[in-house]
Structures are given as C-alpha cells and as structure tokens.
Structure 1
Amino acid sequence: MKKIFLSIMILAVGVTACNQKESSEQSSEVEEKVETEKEDTFLGESFNVENVTTLDILVRDMNSYDSVMAVVEAKVTEVCQAKGCWMKVDLPNGETMRVTFKDYGFFMPKDLAGKSVKMIGTAKIEATDVETLKHFAEDGGESEEEIAKIIEPKMDYKFVASGVKIMN
C-alpha cells in the first residue's frame, strides 16, 4: 500500500512540475505577444494601415471637396509641446497640415517630430481664427514677437485624426 501511495505522490509531483513548465512557456509566449502588440499600438482608433492615400492625392482632393476621409502616411515636423494635442506634417505642395485628434481623445508624444505616422481621419481646408493661431504659436514655443505678428485669420490644411499609428 505504501508503494502505491508513494507512486501516486511521485506522479502528482511530476504532473505539477510539467504544468509549471507549460505555464512558464505560455507566460513567455504572452510576453512576446505583448511586445509585438506594443509595436502595433494605435493611439485612438485602430485601422487598416494598408490602404494609404498619398499626400499628393489628399491635397488634390482637399482642393476639390469640402472634406476628405482618408488614411495617410506623413512625417511629423512639429508637435504641441504643452500636451501633444496637435502635430504638423509637411505636404508636397510646400504647405503644412495641422493634425488634431478627434474629441481631444488622445495625444501624441512630444518627441515625435521627425518620425513617420499613419493616420485615419477627415481632411479639409478651413480658416483658422487669430486667437487659435496665437494659441498654436504659443504651444509651439514661438516667441512673443512672433505671436504678436499674427493679426489675421489664415486658410489652413487641417486633418482631424480618429486614429494614429506611429511607424518604427
């Protein structure tokens, strides 16, 4: 009887040890998956990053329609240094486009300038009032003298992003 009991105990310890090894392997797989997901992190809404509209076509369409829904890829040139609540990207026509985020729902890292992003949202050309232009200039770190030079509204390319993916 002692031999049977001892055999059952050894078997139980062996099964427990195997389960712990499997659990450890599963834990490693989960950690790897989390690392992969970090690389695929979206700010705001996630979206299909494959169907990208070129910036040339976006500008053309913005000049033809009231607003344009699109997924675009662009290089960030400037980010709001107060909160990361807006960013600027260069357009192929020499202009810049200010990107804000739907419902003020998410923000960009302040050190994003120089990196590429893919984003989904609505683009349009619209007037920006003097007060908002001064606010943006202040957030961008402009001097008091530069801010004082802003005295009239400006027609701007704008993009309201519902989702952004920072590219590696």
Structure 2
Amino acid sequence: MKKSLLAIIVVIYGLYSCTEQKKNETEVNTTSEEIVNSEEVIQNSNEESFLGEAFNTEDLTSLNNLVNHMNESDSLNATVEITVTEVCQAKGCWMTAKLPNGESMRITFKDYGFFMPKDLAGKTVRMHGVAKREETDVATLKHFAEDAGKSEEEIAQITEAKLDYKFVASGVNLMQ
C-alpha cells in the first residue's frame, strides 16, 4: 500500500514538473517573440521612423483633397501629412488632427497593431491608410473624451452621435 501510494506521488510529481517546465518554456518563447517584435519596430523606427507598415512617403494627398473626397465617397486610400493635435494619453491608441475645414479627424491604427508616442501632439507625421466619414455613437465619443483626460462635466455634455472624419492608418512615418 505504501509502495503504491509512493509510486502514485512520484508519477504525479513527474507529470507536474514536466507541465511546469513546458509552461516556463512557453513563457520564455512568448517573451522572446515579443522582444523580436519590439526590436523590429525599433529597427524600423531607427532606419526610417515608421510605425506599422512602411509606405512611399512622397505620394501625398493634400488635406483639402482628402476632405473633398471623404465628403463624396465612402472611403479613400491615401497618404497624407498632418500635424497631430492630440494623442490618447491612456496608451497612444488614437490621435487627432485639424482639417482645413476646421473640423478634426480621428486617426486609429489598423488592427490595433501599433501605438503612437503620447508626446506626439504638435509634431508632424505622414501616414498611409483609409480615410472615411462615418457616425460615431455617444458611448464611443464619451470613451474618447475619457481617454483624452476630459473632465466629468465635459463628458456629460456629450449627448448626440456625431458624423466624424476618420482615418485608419496602416503605417505612420514619424518625421524628425
């Protein structure tokens, strides 16, 4: 009886140790992949200052043309140069830019695949992606206001959906 119990304990301990070792190896592999991905972004940033996908920075659409096309069609692939007015202070997951018509354009990033430095406001960037004009619901507008650090009073004043200019960037070129 004691030998059987001892044998069972040894087998369970062996299985547990193997499982724990595989778990640790998985954590190491995940960490290594994250480091590799970080190094790729840093390498791209150092070489050409791109976040996300690299693109031709010379084929620019003017902001006036962009606004005109956004008012006329569902969506438009474009590369534009903007001055960033605001960046999400929670993690850099969106930014805004002023358009020539006085309105703002909200920029998000394809597949939530990369984020902007939080201190990018006031700096110029070039970005490539899809521009569109669509309605943003009240809940989302309030969420954006929270991310921007707006006061509770300002957030409470948001009561209606808004037709917004939006840009989903697949790549951003941080200009020096």
Deviation at 1:110, TM superposition (A): 0.1
Deviation at 1:36, TM superposition (A): 9.7
Distance 1:36 1:104, change over 3 A: closer
Aligned to 1:89: 97
Deviation at 1:152, TM superposition (A): 1.1
Relative to the length of structure 2, the TM-score reads 0.74
| 2:106 matches 1:98 | yes
| 2:67 matches 1:59 | yes
Aligned to 2:48: 40
| 2:140 matches 1:132 | yes
For the pair shown, which has the larger CA radius of gyration, 1 or 2?
Answer: 1
Aligned to 2:158: 150
Deviation at 1:40, TM superposition (A): 1.4
Q: Answer whether contact 2:44 2:51 (CA < 8 A) is retained.
A: no
**2 CA distance for matches of 1:143 and 1:53?**
36
- Percent identity between matched residues is 67
Which amino acid letter does the alignment assign opposite residue 48 of structure 2?
A: D
Q: Which runs of 5+ in 2 are unaligned?
A: 1-41
Q: Which runs of 5+ in 1 are unaligned?
A: 1-33
Aligned to 1:11: none
Within the candidate set 73, 86, 90, 1:78 is matched to 86
Which amino acid letter does the alignment assign opposite residue 58 of structure 1?
A: L
Relative to the length of structure 1, the TM-score reads 0.78
How many corresponding residue pairs?
135
Provide, for residues 34-91 of structure 1, a one-character-per-residue CA deviation record: whole Å limited to 9, x for no partner: 9996151210000000000000000000011110100000000000000000000010
**1 CA distance for matches of 2:168 and 2:44?**
27
**1 CA distance for matches of 2:44 and 2:110?**
26
- Secondary structure of the 2:100 match is coil
- Secondary structure of the 1:103 match is helix
How do 1:104-123 and structure 2 match up within 5 A? 104-123=112-131
RMSD, matched Cα? 1.6
Which amino acid letter does the alignment assign opposite residue 94 of structure 1?
A: G
Distance 1:36 1:43, change over 3 A: closer
**1 CA distance for matches of 2:98 and 2:175?**
16
**1 CA distance for matches of 2:44 and 2:146?**
37
**2 CA distance for matches of 1:167 and 1:42?**
9
